[in-house]
Amino acid sequence: MQSRTIFNTPLVSGFFRAIFILLTWLLGWRIVGEKPTHKKYMMIAAPHTSNWDFPTMMVAAFVLRLDVHWVGKHTLFPKGGLGAVMRWFGGIGLDRRTANNTVEQMIAQYASRDELMLLIAPEGTRSRVDNWKAGFYHIAVGAGVPIYLAFLDIKTRHTGVGKVFYPTGDYEKDIADIKAFYKNKCGFNPELT
């Protein structure tokens, strides 16, 4: 069963989609790509250099009708109203107090759902990094799901979903192939790309 989020609530998602189509047109941005056909998949978004990355990807998510889920500490999801709101915004609570690590908990989330798209920024920070965090890759391999490459590029004023990547289990080779896709993409803070 699919969980109800802001991205798949009919009237709400339709309203935001219409607003964001107009807004991107007015700002001269273009949303590219299509909604993936897979029911379960990982999506990574890069480059991650600014606080503007998150709202930009959310605009793309509404326009492309993506049902985005993200991971946060379990304390962001208390019982009651606030926890329900965070889950409605696509959040999945991760309990770091358990023996299972992040990768195992997220693989279990994929196994327990009929549909799941998890969005992760592989850099893990808005600062410049030489190496991405490998968790997204290990989750995708463990869950047996493809990785879609989402991006933003301020040079072309394009954002959206690029190609699909099927991990082979050879991390070093695969991560080089994935990073090659992002080679010419430029974030909001180019010096951090």
Domain boundaries, the chain: 10-192
**Model confidence over 29-79: pLDDT tens digits?**
999 999 999 999 999 998 878 888 888 888 999 999 999 999 888 888 888
Positions of the chain with pLDDT lower than 50, given as ranges? none
Q: Which two tokens stand for residue 9?
A: 């609530």
Q: What is the pLDDT, as a whole number, of residue 187?
A: 85
The per-residue b/e assignment along 117-137, b for 16 or more CB within 10 angstroms, e otherwise, is bbbbbbbeebeeeeebeebbb
Give this prediction's pTM.
Answer: 0.89
128: left (phi over 0), alpha (psi -120 to 50) or beta: beta
155 class by beta-carbon count within 10 Å (0-12 exposed, 13-18 middle, 19+ buried): exposed
d(CA 44, CA 149): 5
C-alpha of 40 from chain center: 13
Strands 147-153 and 158-165: antiparallel
The reply to whether omega before 47 is within 30° of 0 (cis) is: yes
Q: What is the pLDDT, as a whole number, of residue 100?
A: 64
Strands 147-153 and 116-120: unpaired
Q: What is the pLDDT, as a whole number, of residue 171?
A: 96
